[in-house]
Amino acid sequence: MADSSTNMRLRLPLLCIILEVILIILFGTLVEYNHDTDAKLWNKNRTGPRNDYENEFYYRYPSFQDVHVMIFVGFGFLMTFLQRYGFSSVGFNFLIAAFSLQWATLMQGFFHGMHHGKIHVGVESMINADFCTGAVLISFGAVLGKTSPVQLLVMAIFEVTLFAINEFILLSILGANDAGGSMTIHTFGAYFGLMVTRVLYRPNLSKSQQRNSSVYHSDLFAMIGTIYLWMFWPSFNSAITNYGDPQHRTAMNTYYSLAACTVATFAFSALVNPEGKLDMVHIQNAALAGGVAVGTAGEMMLTAFGSMIVGFLAGTISVLGYKYLTPVLESKLKIQDTCGINNLHGMPGILGAVVGAVTAALASKDVYGDGLQRVFADVETGKWSPESKGGFQAISLAVTLGIALFGGLVTGLILKLPIYGAPPDTHCFEDGLYWELPGEEEGHNELHEVATPNEVEKLNS
C-alpha cells in the first residue's frame, strides 16, 4: 500500500539517528545533575540523618508520573478514535514525545535553566519537558492523519524551540503566572498547530473522508485517553506550582472545574443534536476543556465556585465550537483540524488566559495574606500591583498568539517541502502507509480493504 514516495526506510532512520546523536552530544556537554539529584551536592555537609523527605522528588514525582501518563497514554489514546489510524496515533505520539522531551530539556534549560554554563536537571525539569511535549502533541492533533513521522519530528524541532522562547518571555521577562499552561501550552500548541495545518491545506482531503471517522471500538480506545487526561489534569495544573497550599489548591480547583465542565458537555452535546443523542467527539474532547481553562488561574484563590463557573463555560464553548465553528473553519478558512484542537485547547486556552488575568487583577493581601508572594513571586520586587499583574497576563496572551501563529506559519512552509514522505490525499488517516499491518482473523480478511484494488495496484507499482 506504500509507494516509494512515502517510504520511510532511509528518511526516518537517518533523521532519528542524527537527532539522537546530536541530543546525546549536547547532553554530554551541557547537562548536569541538579542539587537534589547529585550524590555529592545532596549529601554535602551532612550532619546526622539528613531530611531526605525534603528532596524535591517527594513533592513532585507523583505529579510528574500523572503528567507522564497524560502525555503518553492520554494524548496517545485520545487520538486513536480514527478507525484506521490507531497505530500511528499511539505510535507517532510515542516517538515525537520521546524526542521532544529530550530536546525540550535542552531548549528550556538554555533559555531559563543555565547555571554557570550548565543545564541542571531534576524532577522539575522533567515536568517542564513533558509540558513542552504536550504542546507539540496538541499541534499533532490538528495535522493527525495527514503527516509522515518525519514531518512530525521536524515540526517538533521547531515547535519545542519556539515554545521555550515564548515560555522564557512570559515567565522570565513578563513575570506572568501560568503554572498549568493555559497560555504557554494550550494556546501556544493550538494556534501553532492550526497555522501549520492551514499552510498544509489539502484541497482533496475528501478523498480520504471515509477513513476520517471512528468505529465502535476505536471510540472506546479513545475514551481511555480522555479519561486519563481528565483524571490527572489536577496533577498537571499543580505539578510545578509552589509547595504547600498552592499545589493543594490548584489540584482542587481543577477537580471542580472539570466536574462542572463534564456536566455542561453532556448537556450541550444532547442539546445540539436533533434527536438528542450524545456525540462521542464532544464527550472525548469538550469534557476536558475545564482543565485547560483553569490552567492559569488554578493556583490563585479562584475558589471552587469560580472554578466551576469557568469549567461550565469551557465545556459549553467547546461543544458549540465542535458543532458550529469547526465546519466553518474548514470550509471558509481552509483549516483542516482533525481533532478539533481549537475547541479543546485553543478557545479554552484563551478563556483560561483571560480568567487568569482577571483573577490576578483581583488579587490582594486581604485574600492571600502571607501567601501572596508564594503565588505571585514578583510581589517581592515591590513593583507589583494587581492591576499591572493583570495587564502583564493579558500581554502574555497576545505574545503567545503572535509567536504561535508566526512560528506555525514558518514551520508549515518548511513542512510543505515535498521531501518528507507525506501521505497522498487519497491515503490520509491510514496506518498502512507507515506500518506493517497484521492480517485479519479468518472471515475478516476484508477488514482493512477500504482502498480499491485499483489504488492498491497503483501504489504497489
- Cell, residue 256: 471542580
In this structure, are residues 408 and 195 in contact, taking their beta carbons and an 8 Å threshold?
yes
In the complex, what is the shortest distance from the CB of residue 333 to a copy of itself, in angstroms, rounded to a whole number? 26
In the complex, what is the shortest distance from the CB of residue 389 to a copy of itself, in angstroms, rounded to a whole number? 15
In this structure, are residues 160 and 411 in contact, taking their beta carbons and an 8 Å threshold?
no
What is the C-alpha separation between 59 and 146, in angstroms, rounded? 40
| Neighbour-count burial for 379-394, b at 16+ CB within 10 Å, e otherwise | beeeebebeebbebbb
Tell me the number of residues near a copy of itself by CB under 8 A.
149
Residue tagged 552530544 (cell numbers): 25
Would you say 382 or 443 has its CB closer to a copy of itself? 443
Is 350 one of the binding residues for a copy of itself (CB under 8 A)? no
Would you say 41 or 173 has its CB closer to a copy of itself? 41
In the complex, what is the shortest distance from the CB of residue 158 to a copy of itself, in angstroms, rounded to a whole number? 17
What is the C-alpha separation between 306 and 360, in angstroms, rounded? 13
| Neighbour-count burial for 8-32, b at 16+ CB within 10 Å, e otherwise | beebbeebbeebeeebeebbeeebb
With CA atoms as reference, report the closest residue to 225 among 340, 68, 64, 72: 72
Is 303 one of the binding residues for a copy of itself (CB under 8 A)? yes
Would you say 82 or 169 has its CB closer to a copy of itself? 82
Q: Is 250 helix (H, G, I), strand (E, B) or coil?
A: helix
Is 456 one of the binding residues for a copy of itself (CB under 8 A)? no
Residue tagged 485547560 (cell numbers): 292
Member of 114, 173, 271, 398 binding a copy of itself (CB under 8 A): 271
Is 53 one of the binding residues for a copy of itself (CB under 8 A)? yes
Would you say 163 or 268 has its CB closer to a copy of itself? 268
Is 309 one of the binding residues for a copy of itself (CB under 8 A)? yes
For the segment 86-105, give every residue that binds a copy of itself (CB under 8 A): 86-87, 90-91, 94-95, 98-99, 101-102, 105
Is 219 one of the binding residues for a copy of itself (CB under 8 A)? yes
For the segment 126-185, give every residue that binds a copy of itself (CB under 8 A): 126, 149
Would you say 332 or 444 has its CB closer to a copy of itself? 444
What is the C-alpha separation between 154 and 418, in angstroms, rounded? 13
Query: Considering only 177-185, 393-401, 405-413, 440-448, which stretch makes contact with a copy of itself by CB under 8 A?
Result: 440-448
Is 7 one of the binding residues for a copy of itself (CB under 8 A)? yes
